[in-house]
Amino acid sequence: MEVFIVVVFVLGYLAITLEHSLKIDKLVPALAMMALAWTGVAFGLQDFTGWFDSHASKLIEGFADFLPEEKHHLLEATLLHHFGKTCEILIFLIGAMTIVEIIDHFNGFATIKGFIKTNKKRTLLWIVAILGFVLSAIIDNLTATIVLITILRKLLPDAKDRVWYAGLIIIAANAGGAWSPIGDVTTTMLWMGKKVTAEKLVEYLIIPSLICMVIPVLIGSFLPAFKGTFESSDDTEKATKTGKLMLYLGLALIVFVPIFKTVTHLPPYVGMMFSLSIVALVAEFITNKKFSLNQMQHGEDAGHHNSPTFRALSKIEMPSILFFLGILMTVAALESLGLIFSFGQEVQQVMSNELFILLLGAGSAVIDNVPLVAASMGMYDMSVFPIDDHVWHFIAYAAGTGGSMLIIGSAAGVVAMGMEKISFFWYLKNIAWLALIGYVAGYAFMFFFHS
């Protein structure tokens, strides 16, 4: 049955990577392989000889001698544990996405365009790269990429110019998301999985991530594409006071989440829900809407239909949420059987952890970094690699920035590819080598720093 579960994972993941060829949304195979994997676990439960205890991060001794009732009870407890941990991440992401959509509802991101007051291409490159690095650490790399490319469209009318900027934005956004516990799904997973703390993640990764961004942008600024000046397209859109208020309030409350966790020691999703409640309350107040049961009696048009919170919730990326559910729960099934832990033990015997994680980062350019990080979290014994061990920081950096080497290697790259119609091979020829230099430079700094 273990072979069946592994085959399900391989075929399911193959379907995910061939999403565009098969014309099937990746959430479909993700959910299917989750259900089939756990079905395989249930049917083969009595024959399994090993079981991994996620709480203690070690294999349970004598599992083969457990009674059928004991095994079934352990299965239910393990499934509930993984589902609870997965839902913590998903609820956190839903909260963050909703805050971003509320900001966008008030056109808050138009405020960022006011920061760009230049007509020099090289200066514009540095501005958008720095903005990408900072914004992605707060609102995640995917959203930061969308916001900056949207702004670029209002500044650069020529699509041939924009693709070069979009390529460097991908590198900057992925680098910015790697050093923040709320900047990328993978760092959020490591943070909420108690592998790293927010303080140490920032302390150890901000300089390598900065190197990963600065070196490609510095080299790129000397390329012909970023020489000369540009003429902005006519744009009458102006930032409003309300938009500015919602932008600064939303960003501040997202940044507040790690502080809330540090002070209260509650899970991060509690702090994110608290921040969402404040942003939503201000949004409703601005639009003269009140949270009142009386409004519900007047129908949707009189109440929720015009609510900025309701509109934001209707626009969040639910397919991505379900995709993460399927992926994380499938990896949890493999972890529960001890397959991932055993693989990790074998890897540690044949190569150093630093080399393996370096290759893992390169692999994230081809394979989605979410399952890679989910798998790596189950490979290492927490008694040997405790919270904030350098291994976890290496994984956070590698998985967060390695995807920049191919345009399909990160969510930021995929969305830029769609928005600007960037060719896979154009990116491979013109941007990938810059991303590789930045990735290796940042990793080398981390390696010598930890040594």
| N-term to C-term CA, the chain | 43
What does the alpha-carbon distance between residue 360 and residue 372 come to, in Å, rounded to a whole number? 7
Say if residue 229's pLDDT is above 90: no
Residue 49 lies in a domain: no
Q: Residue 387 is encoded by which pair of tokens?
A: 């919270």
Query: Which has the closest alpha carbon to 103: 299, 246, 240?
Result: 246
Contact (CB, 8 A) for 115 and 148: no
Contact (CB, 8 A) for 390 and 208: no
Number of neighbouring beta carbons within 10 Å of residue 237: 9
Overall domain count for the chain: 1
Higher local confidence (pLDDT), 267 or 299: 267
Split at pLDDT 50, 70, 90, the class of 435 is: very high
Residue 338 lies in a domain: yes
Contact (CB, 8 A) for 416 and 422: yes
Contact (CB, 8 A) for 93 and 185: yes
What value does the mean pLDDT take over residues 157-162? 83
Say if residue 236's pLDDT is above 60: no
Say if residue 156's pLDDT is above 90: no
Tell me the CA distances in angstroms from 212 to 55, 188, 218, one per residue in order.
34, 20, 11
- What pLDDT is attached to residue 437? 95
Number of neighbouring beta carbons within 10 Å of residue 292: 10
What value does the mean pLDDT take over residues 119-145? 89
- What pLDDT is attached to residue 44? 84
CA 429 to chain centre: 26
E strand or H helix at 59, and its extent?
strand 58-59
Contact (CB, 8 A) for 411 and 377: no
Higher local confidence (pLDDT), 241 or 172: 172
- What pLDDT is attached to residue 222? 92
pLDDT per residue as tens digits for the range 24-41: 888 888 899 999 999 998
Query: Which has the closest alpha carbon to 221: 338, 290, 356, 121?
Result: 121
For residue 272, report the phi and psi dihedrals to the nearest 5 degrees: -65, -40
Contact (CB, 8 A) for 331 and 376: no
Higher local confidence (pLDDT), 306 or 223: 223
Residue 54 lies in a domain: no
- What pLDDT is attached to residue 107? 84
Positive or negative: CA dihedral 166, 168, 172, 174: positive
Q: Which of 172-176, 267-271, 327-331 has the lowest mean pLDDT?
A: 327-331
What does the alpha-carbon distance between residue 198 and residue 216 come to, in Å, rounded to a whole number? 26
Residue 313 lies in a domain: yes
DSSP, collapsed to helix, strand or coil, labels residue 288 as coil
Q: Which of 54-63, 154-163, 268-277, 278-287 has the lowest mean pLDDT?
A: 54-63
What value does the mean pLDDT take over residues 242-269? 88
- What pLDDT is attached to residue 31? 92
- What pLDDT is attached to residue 175? 93
Structural domain span for residue 427 = 80-451
Residue 18 neighbours by CB under 8 Å, 6+ apart:
none
Residue 406 lies in a domain: yes
pLDDT per residue as tens digits for the range 171-180: 999 999 899 8
Residue 52 lies in a domain: no
| Percent of the chain whose predicted confidence (pLDDT) is above 90 | 24
E strand or H helix at 120, and its extent?
none
Average pLDDT, the chain: 84
Split at pLDDT 50, 70, 90, the class of 201 is: very high
Conformational region of residue 227, where left means phi above 0, alpha means psi within -120 to 50, and beta covers everything else = beta
Say if residue 226's pLDDT is above 50: yes
Tell me the residue type at 334: L
- What pLDDT is attached to residue 219? 94
What does the alpha-carbon distance between residue 198 and residue 187 come to, in Å, rounded to a whole number? 9
Residue 419 lies in a domain: yes
- What pLDDT is attached to residue 438? 94
Q: What is the value of pTM for the model shown? A: 0.79
Higher local confidence (pLDDT), 437 or 368: 437
Say if residue 108's pLDDT is above 80: yes
What does the alpha-carbon distance between residue 50 and residue 434 come to, in Å, rounded to a whole number? 45
What does the alpha-carbon distance between residue 404 and residue 52 come to, in Å, rounded to a whole number? 33
- What pLDDT is attached to residue 204? 93
Tell me the residue type at 57: S
Number of neighbouring beta carbons within 10 Å of residue 55: 9
Split at pLDDT 50, 70, 90, the class of 232 is: low
Say if residue 153's pLDDT is above 70: yes
Contact (CB, 8 A) for 211 and 287: no
Higher local confidence (pLDDT), 134 or 142: 134
What value does the mean pLDDT take over residues 3-24? 83
Q: Residue 330 is encoded by which pair of tokens?
A: 């499938």
Using N-to-C axis directions, what is the helix angle for 432-450 and 390-401, rounded to 10°?
170
Split at pLDDT 50, 70, 90, the class of 290 is: very low
Residue 43 lies in a domain: no
What value does the mean pLDDT take over residues 241-259? 89
- Among the residues of 64-120, which ranges form H helices? 68-105, 110-113
- What pLDDT is attached to residue 210? 95
Tell me the residue type at 116: I
Say if residue 393's pLDDT is above 90: yes
Query: Which has the closest alpha carbon to 221: 292, 299, 152, 129?
Result: 129
- What pLDDT is attached to residue 421? 81
Contact (CB, 8 A) for 398 and 182: no
